[in-house]
Chains A and B, each alone.
Chain A
Amino acid sequence: MTTARTLQFKIYRYDPDTDQKPTMQDISVEIDATDRKLLDALVKLKAKDDAIAFRRSCREGVCGSDALNINGRNGLACLTDIASFPEGKPIVLRPLPGLPVIRDLIVDMTQFFKQYHSIKPYLINNDPPPERERLQSPEEREELNGLYECILCACCSTSCPSFWWNPDKFVGPAGLLAAYRFIADTRDQATNERLDNLEDPYRLFRCHTIMNCVDVCPKGLNPTKAIGKIKDMMVQRSI
Chain B
Amino acid sequence: MVNRKIVGAHYGLMDWLVQRITGVVMVVFTLIVALGLIQGAGASYESWRGFMSAGLMRFVSFLFIVSLCWHAWVGVRDIWMDYIQPAGIKLTLHVLTLLALIGYAGWAVQIIWRL
14 A-B pairs (CB sep. < 8 Å): A165-B82, A168-B5, A169-B7, A199-B12, A200-B10, A200-B11, A200-B12, A201-B9, A201-B15, A201-B81, A203-B8, A205-B12, A231-B16, A235-B17
Q: Does A7 lie at the interface of the complex (its beta carbon under 8 Å from any beta carbon of B)?
A: no
Task: Write the chain B residue with the least CB distance to A201.
Answer: B12
Using an 8 Å CB-CB cutoff, how does the interface string of A180-219 with B read, 1 for contact, 0 for none? 0000000000000000110111111100000000000000
Q: Does A136 lie at the interface of the complex (its beta carbon under 8 Å from any beta carbon of B)?
A: no
Question: B10 contacts A235, CB within 8 Å?
Answer: no
Using an 8 Å CB-CB cutoff, how does the interface string of B1-28 with A read, 1 for contact, 0 for none? 0000101111111111100000000000
Q: A-side binding surface: helix, strand, loop or mixed?
A: loop
Question: B10 contacts A199, CB within 8 Å?
Answer: yes
Chain A hits for B7, CB < 8 A: 169, 200, 202-203
Question: B11 contacts A199, CB within 8 Å?
Answer: yes
Question: A169 contacts B5, CB within 8 Å?
Answer: yes
Q: What's the least CB distance linking A126 to chain B, in Å?
A: 22
Task: Write the chain B residue with the least CB distance to A204.
Answer: B12
Q: What's the least CB distance linking A69 to chain B, in Å?
A: 23
Q: Does A137 lie at the interface of the complex (its beta carbon under 8 Å from any beta carbon of B)?
A: no
In the bound complex, CA of A234 to CA of B14 (Å): 10
Given A200-B7, A200-B8, verify A231-B82 contact (CB < 8 Å).
Answer: no
